[in-house]
Amino acid sequence: DSGVTQTPKHLITATGQRVTLRCSPRSGDLSVYWYQQSLDQGLQFLIQYYNGEERAKGNILERFSAQQFPDLHSELNLSSLELGDSALYFCASSPQDRIDNEQFFGPGTRLTVL
C-alpha cells in the first residue's frame, strides 16, 4: 500500500459525459501527479500540482482539467468524454516538487467510456 488513495476504482460512463476522479496523496506529500495509461498511448504524464499550484503540464487535453485543494487532495475532471478516453488514470504523490525523487502511485481509476 503506497498510502495514495484514489476513488472511484471503476467508472463506467457514456460519451459526452463528465466525470471527476479523486486522489488523496500520502500524508505530508505536497506534489500530486496525474497519469493516463492506455494500451495505445502507454503511460502519459498529464499534469502536476505542488502545494495547490500547477507545476508542470504534459499531454493533457483541453477537455481535461485538474486542481489541488488546500487539504492537498486533487481532482481530475474529464469532460465531453470520448471512447478514446477509456484508460487507467493514476495519481502519484511525492514530498517535493522535484521529479528526481520517488513517486508513490495510487491503485488507479479504470474509466470505461461506452
Partner 1 sequence: SQQGEEDPQALSIQEGENATMNCSYKTSINNLQWYRQNSGRGLVHLILIRSNEREKHSGRLRVTLDTSKKSSSLLITASRAADTASYFCATDDSSYKLIFGSGTRLLVRP
Q: Residues in the site for partner 1, rule: CB under 8 A?
A: 2, 4, 33, 35, 42-45, 48, 55-56, 58, 88, 90, 92, 97, 99-108, 110
Distance CA 64, CA 58 (A): 12
Quick one: 71 or 100, whose CB is closer to partner 1? 100
For residue 16, the minimal CB distance to partner 1 (Å) is 26
Cell of 43: 503511460
For residue 60, the minimal CB distance to partner 1 (Å) is 11
Quick one: 54 or 82, whose CB is closer to partner 1? 54
Q: Return the half-sphere exposure (C-beta side, CA atoms, 13 A cut-off) of residue 72.
A: 19
Cell of 14: 457514456
Distance CA 110, CA 96 (A): 27
